């Protein structure tokens, strides 16, 4: 997959040199094409932003440097153009999976008060937010999105099935996880997990996942079709005041 990123701070993306993403980049499963918007500034002072018309605080990215940078990418290598923006639709796992199936994607990272609306209206296919809060730059949002997308690119995760069991993949939170030692500070790991009984372990995991979702994120349950067994468990927990 090829991801083009338009930014005035390409150096922020050096964090992609760590972890699984760096391996994916080395293996050429993922290409991050960083484009420095400032290289297309309008004058020798490297200007890419200006004051908003009509007054108001801060600065706004001008259209020309952005559009010139977009045009540096050949049309067939652009894919959808995304503007990271707190005003966009909130990102979720479903959206991440659909992005991960693309060959090309272009991400615009804003700063200051954002970018000239004419770029959004005429070039951007979608505005994407990572949550209802304001970041100082789209780079951090883009990094979150790139990281999440990369987990779904074939060949990137060591265990190809691990993303299938992630939180949200079946609409629920992943079960609690434990590792060595069996007893830590007198705190024991749930016995079933040490039993070696695969069927019981599987049941424990799915019940734990359902229980913790109902306690921590009951809103998620509205988006999935519960099995009869799951409904029964929820009723049982409710009647016992566990929920
Ligand atoms: N003044 C603007 C916010 C600008 S924040 C407003 O009130 O709407 C500066 C830049 O950070 C934005 O251009 C955008 O690219 C990025 N950004 C900020 N919050 C974000 C969020 N929640 N999700 C995605 N990008 C965000």
Any catalytic annotation for residue 147? no
The atom number, within ligand 1, closest to the CA of 129 reads 23
- Give Dmax (Cα) for the chain: 71
Query: Which helix (DSSP H) or strand (DSSP E) does residue 167 occupy?
Result: none
Domain 167-239: which topology?
1.10.1270
Ligand 1 pocket at CB < 6 A: 84-87, 109-111, 113-114, 129-131, 133-135, 137-138, 141
Superfamily for 2-150? SPOUT methyltransferase, trefoil knot domain (3.40.1280.10)
* Closest to 63 measured CA to CA, from 104, 114, 105: 114
- For residue 27, report the distance from its CA to the centre of ligand 1, in Å: 32
* pLDDT mean over 87-98: 97
Nearest Cα residue to 3 out of 63, 60, 78: 78
- Residue 84 CB-density burial (10 A; 0-12 exposed, 13-18 middle, 19+ buried): buried
Show me where the domains of the chain are located. 2-150, 167-239
- What gap in Å lies between CA 32 and CA 22, rounded to an integer? 10
How does residue 160 score in pLDDT terms, banded at 50, 70 and 90?
low
pLDDT for residue 156 = 84
Candidates 84, 87, 126: which one to mutate for ligand 1, based on the most atoms within 8 Å of Cβ?
84
- Between CA 236 and CA 242 the distance in angstroms is 9
Q: What band does 161 get if pLDDT is binned at 50, 70 and 90?
A: confident
Concerning whether 151 is annotated as a catalytic residue, the answer is yes
CA dihedral (39, 43, 44, 48) in degrees, to 10, reads -50
Query: Which residues touch 204 (CB under 8 Å, ≥6 apart)?
Result: 175, 190, 192, 193
Alpha carbon nearest to ligand 1 atom 9, residue:
111
* pLDDT tens readout for residues 20-37: 999 999 999 999 999 999
The SS3 call for residue 144 is helix
CA of 16 to the centre of ligand 1 (A): 21
CA of 233 to the centre of ligand 1 (A): 42
pLDDT of residue 159 exceeding 80, the answer is no
Nearest atom (ligand 1) to Cα of 114: 13
Predicted confidence (pLDDT) per residue in 93-126, tens digit? 999 999 999 999 999 999 999 999 999 999 999 9
| From 10, 49, 65, 86, active-site residue | 86
pTM of the full predicted structure?
A: 0.95
Q: At what angle do helices 138-150 and 93-100 cross, to 10 degrees?
A: 70
């Amino acid at each position: 997959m090829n991801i083009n990123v338009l930014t005035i701070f390409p150096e922020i993306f050096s964090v992609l040199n760590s972890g699984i993403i760096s391996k994916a980049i080395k293996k050429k499963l993922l290409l991050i094409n960083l484009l420095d918007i400032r290289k297309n500034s309008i004058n020798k002072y490297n200007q890419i932003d200006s004051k908003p018309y009509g007054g108001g605080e801060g600065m706004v990215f001008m259209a020309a440097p952005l559009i010139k940078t977009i045009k540096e990418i050949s049309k067939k290598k652009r894919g959808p153009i995304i503007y990271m923006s707190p005003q966009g639709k909130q990102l979720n796992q479903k959206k991440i999976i659909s992005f991960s199936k693309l060959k090309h994607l272009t991400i615009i990272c804003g700063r200051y008060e954002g970018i000239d609306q004419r770029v959004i209206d005429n070039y951007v296919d979608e505005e994407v937010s990572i949550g209802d809060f304001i970041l100082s730059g789209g780079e951090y949002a883009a990094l979150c999105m790139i990281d999440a997308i990369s987990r779904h690119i074939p060949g990137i995760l060591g265990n190809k099935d691990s993303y299938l069991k992630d939180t949200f993949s079946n609409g629920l939170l992943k079960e609690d996880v434990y590792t060595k030692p069996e007893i830590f500070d007198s705190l024991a790991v749930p016995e079933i997990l040490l039993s070696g009984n695969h069927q019981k372990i599987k049941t424990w995991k799915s019940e734990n996942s359902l229980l913790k979702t109902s306690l921590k994120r009951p809103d998620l349950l509205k988006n999935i079709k519960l099995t009869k067994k799951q409904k029964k468990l929820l009723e049982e927990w409710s009647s016992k005041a566990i929920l």
